[in-house]
Amino acid sequence: MTGMSSAEGTETQQEEAASRFVERFAAEMTEAGMQRMAARVFAALLASETASMTSAELAEQLRISPAAVSGAIRYLSQVSMVSRERDPGTRRDRYVLHNELWYETFTQRDQVLTRWERVLRDGVETLGRDTAAGRRTAETADFFAFLQTEMLGIMDRWRAHKEAQGAETSS
């Protein structure tokens, strides 16, 4: 039996801690409504040093089948959370988290809110402004309009906050 060097032991402990984080964060995302495998793949990419991994690397780390990785990547691509890039000089695909992932995600959500608000406003007219259903639908449309306005302000403040942090770290 060979002994493990202290550097190997520390690396193994770090890998185990990272794996626990991946599973914990994935569980939180699943609880919030994301597909389980997609949440695990997303969390693994987030926790990787380069924010990118191949299908084989994801399957090995998460101990899942290539088919499970493929399904998760398909979902994450559809919701614009990851993109596919070709490993230079190989035929392997590498899956990469988008830069400014959360900003992109919430910006796209803003577009969804706009479409929903438009349909809801049409619904108010269809259902009748003076009906309970029409009033409820109008309140929902007003809520989405409010959310959209607030979201734009939040995104502007986030960008300013991020720029200020960058200025602080470069000085």
pLDDT in tens, 82-93: 988 887 888 888
* 89 Rama sector, left if φ>0, alpha if ψ -120 to 50, beta otherwise: left
Q: Cα–Cα–Cα angle for 61, 65, 70, nearest 5°?
A: 95
Would the pLDDT of 4 be above 70?
no
Share of the chain above pLDDT 90, in %: 54
Q: What is the rounded distance in angstroms from the CA atom of residue 25 to the CA atom of residue 19?
A: 10
Query: Rounded mean pLDDT of 139-154?
Result: 90
Would the pLDDT of 21 be above 80?
yes
- pLDDT mean across residues, the chain: 87
User: Is the Cβ–Cβ distance between 105 and 111 less than 8 Å?
Assistant: no
User: Is the Cβ–Cβ distance between 27 and 43 less than 8 Å?
Assistant: no
The owner of tokens 């402990």 is 13
pLDDT score at 7: 62
pLDDT score at 6: 62
pLDDT score at 98: 77
Which residue type sits at 12?
T
Which residue type sits at 117?
E
Task: Show the beta-strand stretches assigned E in 39-150.
Answer: 52-54, 82-86, 93-97
Q: What is the rounded distance in angstroms from the CA atom of residue 42 to the CA atom of residue 46?
A: 6
Q: What is the rounded distance in angstroms from the CA atom of residue 76 to the CA atom of residue 79?
A: 5
Q: Quick one: tokens of 78?
A: 């559809």
Would the pLDDT of 29 be above 70?
yes
Q: What is the rounded distance in angstroms from the CA atom of residue 71 to the CA atom of residue 159?
A: 33
Q: Quick one: tokens of 163?
A: 């720029």
Would the pLDDT of 69 be above 70?
yes
What's the pLDDT band for 154 if we cut at 50, 70, 90? Answer: confident
